[in-house]
Amino acid sequence: MVRGIFSLRRGVTGIFVFIFFGLIITASYLLEEGQSSEFLKNLPISNLGATTPGGNKGNPGNVAANGRPPKRPNNGHPAPKMKPVPTHVPPPIRDPFPLLERGERPPPIPSYNVPRHEMHHEYGLDYVPPLFIGFTRQWPMLLQCVVSYITAGWPPESIIVVENTGVQFSNRQGKLSLQNPFYLNHAVLKRLGVTVLQTPVLLTFSQMQNFFLSEAHNRAWPYYFYSHQDSLVYSFEDGADTVHRPGDREFEFYDDDEKHDIMNPPAAGKKGYRTIYENALRELNTTLDREDHWAFRWFQYDHLTLVNREAMDAVGGWDNLMPYYGSDCDMNARLAMDGWTMKHRRIGIINDVSTVLDDLIVLYRDKNVEPKWTDPNPPEEKPKEEGKAEEKPKQEEEQEAAASTDEAAAAAAAAAAGATSEAIEGSLSYFRKLVKTGNDMGKYKYRDDEWRNTWQLSQRGGQGEPYYYNSDGFAQSFWILAEAGREVYRQKWGHGGCDLVQETALIPSDAWLVEPDWITDEPAAEKPKDGRR
Ligand SMILES: *[C@@H]1O[C@H](CO)[C@@H](O)[C@H](O)[C@H]1NC(C)=O
């Protein structure tokens, strides 16, 4: 998902951030180009504040040291004109895992997903490769992601949540409230057994990637995985899975035998069953056996990615001057030009989602709870227009339909399973409901490009808390910086499209030395809009 992360249209931004020097770049750009530049015209969501309002009634974040809002000075200047107070505000979010929130320990994961002790040794590895999950905002999404990895069999001790919130020690000290977008519950993550690593300052996506790399150097990890926080993953518990999910790319195989093997995995309880984690170790083993010059293995674009540190070093890491979108195009192109391979491979079921399960206990197969999900930032209900269905009822309908077809499918599959033990079959019939639920959540996210990233605005509180930042302002800044990054990409390569290898004859040393290819004698030629794919 390098691509997902970066492109507004395709992307799922797991990691959103903005940075001081990014602001400087943007500011100087604006000074040079003026407000009517291409740059601003290209902005995808320039009216974001108006359509996706924040809870900023009056001037709430503004609390002085004495605990009261500073008085507006009576200095002869008129009071500023305030933006209209939004009428549509998403409902407050709920913690998605009440059991952990109450201080209890998580229930056991399905026995067949429990990772074998020191499993990495079975695949020739002398250390446990870490899984980095970057977090900037929206705790329910992060928690869902982490719990899905753990219940699918990923060892918690190898998961490193990278807290990249820019709130210094506020979360560690429990000073933020759940409605604050940057809220993260250290105690809950500890109870799950995962590690939290705090970035010293708020990093952009590209900086975060370079931060993973620097950690990998510090700790002598030649290979590592990273995942986006809006992934919901499962192992192939039910055997073969042929569903094409919206985030999936064409998977690549080395040969037909391998393809058959990968596409027909044994189900849980059967000989040869492997979790997504075991498949990840196996994939690393296979890659090392087969290739010297590999860079990434993507398991649904970069929603989950295996990284070869050596390749990153060989091309000089991520370009920090492209904070978000476009940076993946730049990275992939530089790697490919330099002969490093990237492949789309298949190790498990990965859903790219924008919604959260109502209670994450369902991932532990609690049969007393039905898998249901909620959009943390449901679209505003517009007055009914003829011929236009409303979003929310449709979602409810889908969930109901899902529940009934699930039961039928589960019964049929149970009958077919024969030899599988009763306990495993019980767990698998519940698993099928989870898979269906994940599929529906993925479809919902991709129902319309406009709404793909709305979940990022679901939490708007935290006024008066340490390091408070207006959530709409954060979102707007994100898109401004994202567009600045696209412009850096265009100027660096003199080309607007994402795939430099397919679309140009550029080599790495051409960076910043070539004239733009959109300036031609053709009168119709126009500067391309952006570097997104
Ligand atoms: C892959 O794993 C096998 C054992 O399953 C091991 O013998 C082999 O050395 C491993 N390959 C690499 C490159 O580590």
For residues 325 and 479, what is the distance between their CA atoms, to the nearest angstrom? Answer: 9
The verdict on 261 and 154 lying in the same domain is: yes
In our burial notation (b when 16+ CB lie closer than 10 A, e otherwise), range 322-359 reads bbbbbbbbbbbbbbbbeebbbbbbbbbbbbbbbbbbbb
The verdict on 22 and 132 lying in the same domain is: no
Atom of ligand 1 nearest to the CA of 288: 13
Q: pLDDT higher for 82 or 29?
A: 82
Residue 186 lies in a domain: yes
Which residue range forms the structural domain that includes residue 330?
101-352
Atom of ligand 1 nearest to the CA of 289: 13
How far is the first Cα of the chain from the last one, in angstroms, to the nearest whole number?
A: 12
The verdict on 146 and 293 lying in the same domain is: yes
473-521 confidence digits (pLDDT tens): 999 999 999 999 999 999 999 999 999 999 999 999 999 999 999 987 6
Percent of the chain topping pLDDT 70: 76
How many angstroms separate the alpha carbon of residue 256 from the centre of ligand 1? 22
Q: Specify the CATH number for the domain of residue 200.
A: 3.90.550
Among residues 323, 352, 381, which one ends one of the domains? 352
Query: What pLDDT, on a 0 to 100 scale, did the predictor assign at position 89?
Result: 81
Residue 217 lies in a domain: yes
Distances (CA, A) of 167 to 194, 199, 423: 20, 10, 45
403-431 confidence digits (pLDDT tens): 455 555 555 555 555 556 888 888 999 99
User: In total, how many domains does the chain have?
Assistant: 2
The verdict on 35 and 171 lying in the same domain is: no
Local confidence band at 202 (pLDDT 50, 70, 90 cut-offs): very high
Residues pairing with 223 in the sheet: 308
Among residues 307, 332, 352, which one ends one of the domains? 352
Question: Which pairing describes strands 159-163 and 195-198: parallel, antiparallel, or unpaired?
Answer: parallel
Question: How much is the average pLDDT of 123-147?
Answer: 97
Residue 23 has pLDDT above 50, yes or no: no
Instruction: Please name the helix (run of DSSP H) or strand (run of DSSP E) that holds residue 160, with its range, or none.
Output: strand 159-163
The verdict on 16 and 145 lying in the same domain is: no
Phi/psi of residue 195, each to 5°? -95, 145
Q: Does 123 contact ligand 1 (Cβ within 6 A)?
A: yes
Among residues 352, 373, 405, which one ends one of the domains? 352
Percent of the chain topping pLDDT 90: 69
Residue 342 lies in a domain: yes
For residues 407 and 453, what is the distance between their CA atoms, to the nearest angstrom? Answer: 32
For residues 492 and 486, what is the distance between their CA atoms, to the nearest angstrom? Answer: 10
Residue 280 lies in a domain: yes
pTM listed for this prediction: 0.82
**Site of tokens 């800044």:** 477
Atom of ligand 1 nearest to the CA of 123: 2
**Site of tokens 């969501």:** 45
Residue 20 lies in a domain: yes
The verdict on 32 and 112 lying in the same domain is: no
Residue 442 lies in a domain: no
Ligand 1 pocket: which of 289, 292, 306 to mutate (most atoms within 8 A of CB): 289
Residue 164 lies in a domain: yes
How many angstroms separate the alpha carbon of residue 124 from the centre of ligand 1? 4
Residue 441 lies in a domain: no
How many angstroms separate the alpha carbon of residue 382 from the centre of ligand 1? 58
Q: Does 286 contact ligand 1 (Cβ within 6 A)?
A: no
How many angstroms separate the alpha carbon of residue 282 from the centre of ligand 1? 9
Q: pLDDT higher for 9 or 250?
A: 250
The verdict on 340 and 239 lying in the same domain is: yes
Q: Does 282 contact ligand 1 (Cβ within 6 A)?
A: no
User: With the C-alpha atoms ordered 111, 114, 118, 124, is the resulting torsion angle positive or negative?
Assistant: positive
Tokens of 476: 């707007």
The verdict on 170 and 249 lying in the same domain is: yes
Which one-letter DSSP state was computed for residue 531? S
User: Whose Cα sits closest to atom 9 in ligand 1?
Assistant: 124
Question: Which pairing describes strands 341-344 and 349-352: parallel, antiparallel, or unpaired?
Answer: unpaired
Q: Does 285 contact ligand 1 (Cβ within 6 A)?
A: yes
The verdict on 21 and 148 lying in the same domain is: no
With H, G, I as helix, E, B as strand and everything else as coil, classify residue 225.
Answer: strand
Residue 469 has pLDDT above 80, yes or no: yes
The verdict on 25 and 124 lying in the same domain is: no
